[in-house]
Structure formats: C-alpha cells, structure tokens
Structure 1
Amino acid sequence: MRPLILLACTALSAIASEDYKLVWSDEFDKAGPPDPAKWGFEKGMLRNNEKQFYTDRIRNARVEDGKLVIEAHKEVMEGGSFTSASLNSRGHGEWTCGRFEVKAKIPAARGTWPAIWMLPTDIGKVAWPKCGEIDIMEHVGYDPDIIHGTLHTEAYNHIKHTQRGEKINVPTATTEFHIYSAEWTPERIIISIDGKAYGTFEKKQSDTVDQWPFDKPFYLILNLAIGGDWGGQKGIDDAAFPQRMEVDYVRVYQQQKK
C-alpha cells in the first residue's frame, strides 16, 4: 500500500498555477475495480434519507475506457430501492489546502444527486457540521443546468439554512465533461468550473472553528446518490436507470515551499 499523503498548507497570497505541484492523482488508466491503493468504499444506506444502498461491487464502480464509472441501478438491496457507489480517499490521500481538480460528466435523470466533496479525517471525533465540509460540486437531476459549490460549518450549514454556497448555470453539465475544482488556502476557498471561479469564501479575522474549520486534513469523496432530502424533492424517474457518473481524472496539487 502506498504511503499516506498528509501535507500541511502554507500561506498563499495569490492563486498561481506555477506555484503548485501535482502530489496525488488517479488517471483511471487500468480497467477493473478502482485502485485500492487510492480508493476505499462506503457501504450501506448512510445519510440524507437517500434511496440507494452503497456497494463495492464492480457493477456499481469500475474503471473502463480510461474513466471511473459510478453507476446506479434500480434494484432492491438491504432496504434500498437502488444501488450505487461512494468512493473516498480516506487513508490513501488526505490534505490540508491545495488545488483539487476532478474532470467528470454527471447524470441527467430526475432523482440523481452526484457529488464531488471533502470531509475531514477527524469526523469520527468532531461531529458534522462542526467538523466542516467542502462541496466542490453538487447537482440534482431535477435542476439539470445548475451546479452548486458549498461550504458547511457549525455556524453555516443547511440545517440552519445558513450554508455558504454559490451556484452557476452550466447548460452542458449533463452532456459534457467539465473540470470541477477547489482552491483551498489558509485564507479562502475558491470553487471553480473549467477554470472559472464562481464561489469565493473568505476567512475573516474574527472567525473561530465554528466559522472556519478548514485548517486540518480532508479527504475526497466521489458518489452518486439517488433521491434523498434534496435529490428526491421532485421524485425519481425510475425508468431512466441505470444512470452513471463518469470521472476522467482526479488530480491534487499543493503549493511548494520556495
């Protein structure tokens, strides 16, 4: 197993590509199951009243034709009415600050809820939302042209309806691959699509951990949920399945000390 990548951030006064070096990636160039040295699986029915049972089956997550495929099927399993997959880099890649890029194409069906996001390694000790959450990309199938980028903290979260988030209209969100990215520094987190920033979240001098818990290691999550509190608000088009989220690559860059 490859060593855990756990790197600390340093102050960054400006976003500049030349300051960054690739420190972790998956190009998905080997067909079969996702690389176990880079990805683990969540299993079961986990959150948000979603309707899928997450598995580690190749039917639900596999590498084919140079891409990671996360595929949801209409089938009953362990109390779920769908199956899908949720991959994460916990224990294989964890970072404090950096630039995170995921090139992906997302499904279009009503009821789908794909996401590219990050959680902290201390979530087992510090409960959500106090632990923090970085949503690089979320999409709900009933609103096909809209991409969301959001931060959740103790002070700012969707339970309180205070979450810090932005959205952008992307007419080709479900028909073309796009690069979803986050630039995370000690002072701010910038959410972008195809290099265009649409959400900038600044840390204030007065912020405590309740407002800004983003000073510790986080890991990446790629998942395709079905239904749930948000994705299922306008129902699920059962006849549209199977549905898939395809990922061309995942790349993590960090600023290098000079």
Structure 2
Amino acid sequence: GTGQNGELEYYTDQRNAAMDGSGHLVMEARKEATAGSSCPSDPLSGSTTCQYTSARMNTGASFQFTYGRVEARIKVPKGNGLWPAFWMMGADFLTGRPWPYNGEVDIMEILGKDVKTAYSTVHAPAYNGGGGIGSPYKLPQSADFSADFHTWAADWNSKGITFSLDGQTVFTLDKEQVEQTRGPWIFDHPHYMILNLAVGGDWPGPTDATTPFPARMLVDYVR
C-alpha cells in the first residue's frame, strides 16, 4: 500500500527488494504506474494509480524488542523527492493503537534533495510531526551521505536513547529531561524495526526530471 504524509509511492510485496549478490539488500524505487486502492485517484477517470513503486520492510511479525542497540549500515540514494529511512514503531500500532500514541523512533531519515544532512527524531502525542524532538547532523567536511555506506545506531534503555553515526554520538535524548520539558516519554515498551525508501511527500517534496529512477537504497546489515 501507499505511505502517509502525502507520499507518492506504492509499496509492493516483494519485487522492489532483492539481494545484489554482494551481501547487500537493495530497496529500489521505480517510476512505474501501479493500481492500488490506497493510491491517489485520477479526477478524470476515477481510477486509483500510483506513479512509483518502492520497498518497505518491517520486523513487526518476526521481531519485537524493548531496549538494546539497534544498528544498520546503509547507503542512501540521491535525488529530489527520495526519502530513505531506518526507524522503529511501537508494536501496539499493530494491534490498533493509533499513531503517535504507540511512539516512533526515527534513527535515520535523509532527504534526497539534501544528502549532506541526516536526521534522528522521536514522535509521541506531546511532540510529533514537525514538532518531534530531533536533531539534524552532518558528516565531517559536510560530505555527501549518498557517496558511501554509513552506520546509524540507537542505544535505547529505560533512561533514554543515544543516536550515533559511524560510532560517533550525534544526539542524546534523556527521558527525565524530555518529560520535564516536552511531555510524556512513551517508548518503554516493545518496538519493531522498519526500513523503507519513500518517494515524494510533504517533507522531501516532489520528484522532478533530475531524480534518478530506479533509485536504490542499499542495506549491508541490520543488527
């Protein structure tokens, strides 16, 4: 089905994700029309079609956990409208608790139009969407994230979450401080991991003639 946030992609079951023969998972966004009930409807024909397909994978049915170190080594794509992400969702989302009450921990988001900036953010009822608690950060010498693999990690325990990039801390969230300044901390329960490559949407903006398709997000490992 499609993503939220005004995104344009249709997530297929399997055909947009494959191994590349060198040990990497390839998540590929393609420009190809696909019919789906959750796609935008054409005002003239009434048919519902998405112009892009992509991949999203999650561990909701296979692996949920509370606390620990979550890490992935990823090479992101570059291009206007692309939106790769590595994140966690509160597992009670799967049993009907609505977002953002289940909690969302975005370990890595990058906008393809600015591949020199990455973001780590958390979302809860008291702070979500544009009001989520997060931080942008860059590589040394403002290098291009899409030029190579980088390792994003979150160390998560009952006291908070520490986000790191290539072994260097980039952002620390202290539960006590968040509760004193922003509102309830709702992350002390099982979560599952998600990897996806979104296309378009309110935050990354639209694709254009320069956006490369197919666009590929490569994942070396998730631990």
- Does TM-score exceed 0.5, indicating one fold? yes
**Which residue is 2:41 aligned to?**
none
What is the correspondence of 1:34-113 to structure 2 with a 5 Å cutoff? 44-58=1-15, 60-64=16-20, 65-78=22-35, 79-113=49-83
CA contact (8 A) 2:3 2:198 kept: no
3-state secondary structure, aligned to 2:19: strand
Amino acid at match of 1:221: I
1:168-196 alpha-carbon deviations (Å, 9 max, x no partner) = 11313101000010000100101110011
1:212-239 alpha-carbon deviations (Å, 9 max, x no partner) = 111110000000000011111xx31345
Quote how far apart the aligned CAs of 1:130 are. 1.6
**What percent identity do the matched residue pairs reach?**
42
3-state secondary structure, aligned to 1:122: helix
Q: Give the superposed CA RMSD.
A: 1.6
**Which residue is 1:200 aligned to?**
172
**Which residue is 2:89 aligned to?**
119
TM-score normalised according to structure 2 size: 0.86
**Which residue is 1:231 aligned to?**
204
Q: What CA distance in whole angstroms lies between the structure 1 residues aligned with 2:137 and 2:203?
A: 17
238-247 or 104-113: which moved more? 238-247
**Which residue is 1:255 aligned to?**
none
Q: Note the residue ranges of structure 2 that are not aligned, 5 or more in a row.
A: 36-48
Q: Which has the higher helix share?
A: 2
Amino acid at match of 2:32: E
Establish whether residue 247 from structure 1 lines up as the match of residue 216 from structure 2.
no
Q: What CA distance in whole angstroms lies between the structure 1 residues aligned with 2:179 and 2:171?
A: 19
**Which residue is 2:45 aligned to?**
none
Amino acid at match of 2:112: G
After superposing on structure 2, the runs of 4+ consecutive aligned residues of structure 1 that deviate more than 3 Å are 205-208
CA contact (8 A) 2:178 2:184 kept: no
Quote how far apart the aligned CAs of 1:57 are. 2.9
CA contact (8 A) 1:74 1:238 kept: no
Q: What CA distance in whole angstroms lies between the structure 2 residues aligned with 1:94 and 1:57?
A: 22
TM-score normalised according to structure 1 size: 0.75
